[in-house]
Structures are given as C-alpha cells and as structure tokens.
C-alpha cells in the first residue's frame, strides 16, 4: 500500500501561549516540532508543514511550508485544505494531519486511521479517545472525544472542503459527519493527544518527557 503523505498543522495563532509558534518551544533540548517530525516520519511517505508568515523560520526542518489557502486564520480545516492541495499535486489520494504542538501522539496513528478507513469510498477518519481521558475536544454521539487535527483526509474531497470553507464552515466535525466520517479510537492511560496550549501545559510536557 502507498503511504499517505503527512502534514503538520502549525497555522494557529497560539493566543493562550502569548503568540508565536508553539512548535518551536523547547522540550527536552529540542523544539516540540522536532519531536513531532521524529514520530511522524516513519508513518508517512513525505511530510509538509502548514504555517503562515515567513517560512524561513522553519528552514532547519527541511520541509515544504504550506500557507493557508484562505486568509484570516479560519481554523484547522484550512490547514487540512492546504495539505490536500499539496498532496493532490503529487498524485496522492490521502493525507494525514497532526498538530505541531502535540509531541506524544501514537506511533501507530497512521496505521490505525488507515485500518478504520478500510473500504470507504473516500477515506475520512478522525482520531478519538474515550471520554474521561481528556475533556477538551469535540464529543461524538458515541461518547468519544474526537481530535480534529489528527485525521486521514481524501484529496478527492478537497474541492468540496474549499467550497464549505468559503461558505463560512469552521467546525471540523460538521464537515466530517456530512461525509460519513469515522473515528479511530486510541485508548491509552496517558492522553496521547495532549497538546501544549499554555505555559502550564509546557511544564507538564517537560515533566512527562522525563518519565
């Protein structure tokens, strides 16, 4: 099977961290983004980074930098669209996204997403965890917490997504439910989708990486 391409979403404004790039914050003597790349690289065929502003600040990572194709910081779906356009240019059928501020995501993320997408006409799967593991994401009707920045997305639906975003859509799960998206459940005692939103989160991540 051809590996999906991977896109790291780093296009947010990091308001709770006081601005800047959360992926460039230091964790265990390296940028968080370096941890994300190290974990993601074995799972995908190639990677790109979705980020806005001067791409030169990411030169050390040697990745293509994809700006949002729709202005105004319209949320993670715009970064997904940037990744889908990039993947389609290379003839890929799918792309997997991860967040640049989430260094502990599962090492089998792509494999499990792909497994759950089996036999879907348009592979569209979001990562999810059981309720109680984290309470900060979108709830599904089944009691799962969905993690909208971690998903498998089909390039065939990129024009539909572009149209929806142009019409004002911002909520990821509204669009995935419209296209009968599925959830891939990751049940781990430690929240694998813990992300660094605040200085307190960064301190927690620094403690966690030492354990």
pLDDT tens, residue order, the chain (211 aa): 567 899 999 976 554 444 668 999 999 999 999 999 999 999 999 999 999 999 999 999 999 999 999 887 778 999 999 999 999 999 999 999 999 999 999 999 999 999 999 999 999 999 999 976 544 445 555 689 999 999 999 999 999 999 999 998 889 999 999 999 999 999 887 899 999 999 999 999 999 998 7
Number of domains in the chain: 1
Whole-model pTM?
0.91
pLDDT score at 140: 54
Q: What is the DSSP string of 100-165?
A: TT-TT--TTHHHHHHHHTTT-SS--EEEEEETTS-SSSEEPTTSEEEEEEEEEEEGGGHHHHHHHH
- What CATH number is attached to the domain comprising 184? 3.90.550.10
Which residues make beta-bridge pairs with 61?
none
Which residues make beta-bridge pairs with 66?
50
Under 8 Å CB-to-CB from 89, ≥6 apart: which residues?
A: none
Q: Which domain holds residue 138?
A: 5-209
Q: What is the per-residue burial (b if ≥16 Cβ within 10 Å, else e) of 131-168?
A: eebeeebbebeeebbbbbbbbbbbbebbeebbebbeee
């Amino acid at each position: 099977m051809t590996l999906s391409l991977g896109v790291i979403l780093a296009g947010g404004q990091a308001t709770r961290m006081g601005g800047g790039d959360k992926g460039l914050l230091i964790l265990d003597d390296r940028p968080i983004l370096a941890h994300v790349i190290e974990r993601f690289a074995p799972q995908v065929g190639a990677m790109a980074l979705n980020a806005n502003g001067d791409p030169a600040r990411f030169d050390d990572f040697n990745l293509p930098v994809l700006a949002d194709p729709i202005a105004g910081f319209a949320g993670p779906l715009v970064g997904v669209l940037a990744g889908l356009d990039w993947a389609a240019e290379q003839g890929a059928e799918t792309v997997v996204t991860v967040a640049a501020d989430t260094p502990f995501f599962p090492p089998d993320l792509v494999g499990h997403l792909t497994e759950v997408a089996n036999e879907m006409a348009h592979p569209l799967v979001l990562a999810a965890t059981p309720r109680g593991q984290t309470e900060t994401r979108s709830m599904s009707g089944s009691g799962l917490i969905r993690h909208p920045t971690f998903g498998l997305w089909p390039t065939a639906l990129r024009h539909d997504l572009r149209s929806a975003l142009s019409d004002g859509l911002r909520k990821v799960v509204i669009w995935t439910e419209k296209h009968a998206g599925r959830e891939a459940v990751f049940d781990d005692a430690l929240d694998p989708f813990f992300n660094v939103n605040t200085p307190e989160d960064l301190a927690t991540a620094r403690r966690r990486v030492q354990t």
